Amino acid sequence: MSELTELYQEVILDHNKRPRNYQVPSGANRHAEGFNPLCGDRFTVYLRVEDGVIQDAGFQGAGCAISKASASLMTDIVKGRTLEEARALFDRFHDMVTAPMEATADADLLGKLAVFAGVREFPVRVKCASLAWHAMRAAVQSASDPVSTE
């Protein structure tokens, strides 16, 4: 196993065991639920948005190591971002986990999120990695219906 693969696994395992932002942020004024019917992962993403900027983010729910780690990293990276920047991050992340390797040069721009680049090789796991992201995008758009990875 390469050093890079080991590092990626370490990051995912760390965020699974000790998820960051596993809470409802004080003053949260947007939220959206995400559900993966294939495996049962279910997370609710909470945002506190003021003047078009995500001031705080959190999540609650249950899921596999990949979905929980992805939610943890996602809530860290969207804090302080505008709603438009959060939408753009969703697009970049989604492209990274779904597009062919040669089409995802943006992975370097995503920093720690690049740990999820390998899930594109496992289509079922793409849904795990992107679940919280779909919920975040729905919260950004103030959608009220739960989002599904199906």
Percent of the chain with pLDDT over 90: 63
51 lies in which domain range? 3-148
Domain count, the chain: 1
At 137, list the tokens: 């995008």
Find the mean pLDDT for residues 117-145.
Answer: 89
| Three-class SS state of 17 | helix
User: Would the pTM of this model clear 0.85, i.e. be above it?
Assistant: yes
Residue 82 DSSP code:
B
Buried b (16+ CB within 10 A) or exposed e, 12-51: beebbeebbbbeebeebebbbbbbbeebebbbbbbbbbee
Task: Look at residue 60 and tell me whether its pLDDT is greater than 50.
Answer: yes
Q: What is the pLDDT of residue 106?
A: 55
Task: Look at residue 107 and tell me whether its pLDDT is greater than 60.
Answer: no
Reported as a single tens digit per residue, the pLDDT across 63-79 is: 999 999 999 999 999 99
For residue 86, the domain's CATH number is 3.90.1010.10
Contact 120, 107 (CB under 8 A): no
Q: What is the pLDDT of residue 23?
A: 97
Contact 107, 96 (CB under 8 A): yes
